[in-house]
Each structure stands twice: as C-alpha cells, then as structure tokens.
Amino acid sequence: MINQSKFDFRNEAKYAYKTPPGLNEKVIREISEAKNEPKWMLEHRLQAFKIFENYHEPHFGVDIRKLDLSKIVAYMKPDAKKSNSWEDVPEEIKDTFEKLGIPEAERKALAGVGAQYDSEVVYQHIQKELNDLGIVFLDMETAVKEYPDLVKEYFMKLVPSHNHRYAALHGALWSGGSFLYVPKGVKVPLPLQAYFRMNNPGMSQLEHTLIIADEGSEVEFIEGCSAPFYNVTNLHAGMVEIYVKKGAKMKYSTIQNWSKNTYNLNTKRAIVDEDGSMEWVSGSLGSFKTMLYPMTILRGKGAKNSSVTLTYAGPNQHLDTGSKVFHLAPYTSSIVNARSISIGGGWAFYRGWVKIGENAKGAKSSVECNALMLDNKSKSDTVPLIEVFTDDADVGHEAKIGRISEEQIYYLMSRGLSEIDAKNMIVRGFIEPLVKELPLEYALELNKLINLEVESSIG
C-alpha cells in the first residue's frame, strides 16, 4: 500500500495575520494593506469585487450551491518572510515542503522553484546563471512592486474580471503565485516549478501565475498542488495567464492533488502569436468538485497548441474538465487528447470547445476523448463542441467510453495478478500518453497516486 501521508498530513504553522471568514470590501482593503500594495492594485480589487457581487453562478458544470463563501477565510499570511534561501524558511513550513519533496526536486531537476504556503509565497529561487540571462522569476506581489508597468500591461487582460463570477472573485482576492518573464531568444534548459500547499481548513487559495515567453524563447513550467483532508470546505480559485510571443515555445504541466473537501474552480488561458507553440499537460486527481478548462487562443499565423489531460474521479468526486482552443489565424493547428477515469461512483465529465474562425484558413485540429469506467457505479460523459466557420479546415474528432471488462480482469488474474494489480496495469496503460509527457520523477509520482486511488476505491 502506498503511503498517502506524503500529501494528507497537517503541520501546525504560525500566522502573522488572517482575515475573518466571509467576503466584503473591508476584507479586500485589509488584504491590500497587508501586502502594502500600490493604489492601482487596490482599485483593481475593488472593481473586481463589484463585478463579483452582481454576477451569476455558472449555469453548467458541477453543483456549487453548497459552497458557502461566508464561511471561507479569504487570506492567511504565514509568519514567515519571503526568502530565496531554504535555510531561512521557518521549520514547520520547511518540514511541510520537505515531506512533499520540493527541495529534493529542485536540487535534482529544476532551474527554479516558488513555494506557496496558504496565501503567500514563502520561498522563491532561481539558479544564478538563469538570472544572469535576464529571466525574471518572482512571486506576484514582488513583481507588482518591481515591474509595475509589465504587470499592468498583462495582469488579468487574458482573463478579465467580467469573464465569469470566479474570475471576479479571483480579481478581488488573489494572493501569491508566480511571475515569469523569459527574454527574447532565451531557452531555459531545465523546468521551473511552483508548488501550492493549502494547509488549513476552511480557507481559500487564489494564486495568480503570469508567464510571458518573449519572441523565440523556450520554457517549461511545472505546477504542483496538494492539501490535507478536512471535514469543512476549502476553495481553490487560482488563475494562470500565459503569453507566447512569436516563435516561442511554452510547456505548462500540472498535477493537482487537492483534498476531497476542496472546490477547485480554476481558470487557465494562453494566447499564442505567429509560429508560437503552447503545450498543456494536466492531471486532475483531487478535489470534491472541479471546473477546469485550459484555453488557448491561436491568434498568430502558424501558431500551435497541444493539450494532453487526465481526469480521475473517485468516490464522491465530480470533476468537470476539458479544454478550449480558438483558431483565429491561418495555418494554426491543435491536438487535444483527453482521458478520464472514474471509479467508486465518481463522475468524470469532459467539456471541450474547438472553434475555427473564418480567418483560420488551412487550420487543422484533432480531438480525441477516451473515458474508462472501472465499475458499474461510476459515470462518464463527453460533450465536445466543435465550430467551423471556414471551408478550408481539417478537423477530426473521436470519442470512446467504456468499462474494463470482466474478461480482461479474469485474464490478468489467471496470469497471477491480484484484482488490484490487474486494474492498475490497465489504468497505467490508459494514462501512458500523459505520463510520457512528464519529467521522470513526476511521472513516477502520478503512477503512485493513481495506484493509491485504485487501491483505496477497491478496498
């Protein structure tokens, strides 16, 4: 049996400040004051809050009627200064990230790491040689103060507050996250990583990640998320905005393992210029309910997008995930490979949207959706929307939904495998397209998590 304690543990941490449960203008002003923000950011928050107050709940996806924001703590600031030295991080927080393997991963395979604990980034570091190349890798609060013009130009321009209710909530309450700028022509040799840990019950985490890959640059960014289980509701409503300039290449990989008491209402969006390339690799395992649809806007001629996603829904989980790709320019191309697994009564729902605009002559898009149900109690749905507004396009779609057959299990068990091992073998083969896109240590971790989920669901 795999030890879930790597993720489902709780450390007692000291807090310098936290807001009372609920959401109002006073809370927003307190957050801004605690961060010592410039006036323009406070004005942005207050405007977003006005939009939030007058916006309706989503009319699709998961049921969030039981999400009571009046009981959610919007902001918890750990009693720790931001540091670029691991030794300066408080012991109780350091212990949390040591158990999660963050420093070890940094030493072995990463060019830089940002680590967020509840509402604030407590550790941010980038290798000196990359810093010398002009790469900027900071927590978002520091970027707001040190690069205000750059942040103003891009912050919540791809996903404005009026986009949907939880974008407005994010605009009002955002805290933490990473800012990454890669200069023209710079190719980052190793991945950068951000890790987000929600350690306390009844809180929200709304980190903002802003990435600008300038012309001809190349970079890979890895995001990891986890939280211990509590019997009260937690909320994650982060946001990722990515700008891929002409000829740049960007790969964004995520393994989300939120606890089963978390509502995960995340928003991710990228815009790609001429001959640029955007690649999403995403694994969603945790959370009580999830709504997540990474979106790519291909606005430059020859821009490309690839999206490989895995959704795993176990007992009492409803994960509504998918991808969106808008082709707005000629000779753009996209590949979507979406896979889902449901077990123990879980519900995995794929919701996709590919739009080929009238100016996207010669565009190509391929969408493949595969759903695997491991028992008769679970559910799986695929709802792909494909809109084509030009005669000069090549678009394909394929969908498969099925259960593991008793014959497959019997055959493997007749060869000496237990039922659990047999199902794990089938599942590992099913998720292989995603696993091969991850760095080795993350691929191994994902396989362990899947094995654990299958074992706990079978009993």
The total of structural domains in the chain comes to 1
Dihedrals phi, psi of 339, to nearest 5 degrees: -130, 140
**Tens-digit pLDDT profile for residues 120-175:** 665 666 667 777 889 898 889 999 999 999 999 999 999 999 999 999 999 999 99
For residue 85, pLDDT over 70 is answered with: no
Top-confidence residue, 191 or 26: 26
Give the chain's count of helices (H) and strands (E). 11, 26
How confident is the model at residue 425, as a pLDDT?
82
Contact 221, 255 (CB under 8 A): no
CA–CA separation, 286 and 322 (whole Å)? 16
Largest CA distance in the chain: 69
CA–CA separation, 304 and 331 (whole Å)? 9
How confident is the model at residue 359, as a pLDDT?
97
Instruction: Locate 126 and state its tokens.
Output: 């980038």
Dihedral class, residue 101 (left if φ above 0, else alpha if ψ from -120 to 50, else beta): left
Nearest Cα residue to 168 out of 267, 259, 305, 22: 267
**Tens-digit pLDDT profile for residues 321-362:** 999 999 999 999 999 999 998 988 999 999 999 999 999 999
Nearest Cα residue to 176 out of 201, 210, 202: 210
Range of lowest pLDDT (176-185, 223-232, 255-264, 345-354): 223-232
The total of other beta-carbon atoms located within 10 Å of residue 429's CB is 10
Mean of the per-residue pLDDT values of the chain: 84
Range of lowest pLDDT (238-252, 305-319, 349-363): 305-319
Find the mean pLDDT for residues 303-308: 96
**Tens-digit pLDDT profile for residues 411-445:** 888 888 888 888 778 777 777 877 777 765 566 66
How confident is the model at residue 261, as a pLDDT?
87
Residues 6+ apart with CB under 8 A from 254: 222, 223, 224, 225, 280, 281, 282, 283, 284
For residue 235, pLDDT over 70 is answered with: yes
How confident is the model at residue 254, as a pLDDT?
85
Find the mean pLDDT for residues 10-15: 54
How confident is the model at residue 1, as a pLDDT?
32
Contact 170, 207 (CB under 8 A): no
Task: Please give the residue range of the domain that contains residue 42.
Answer: 4-458
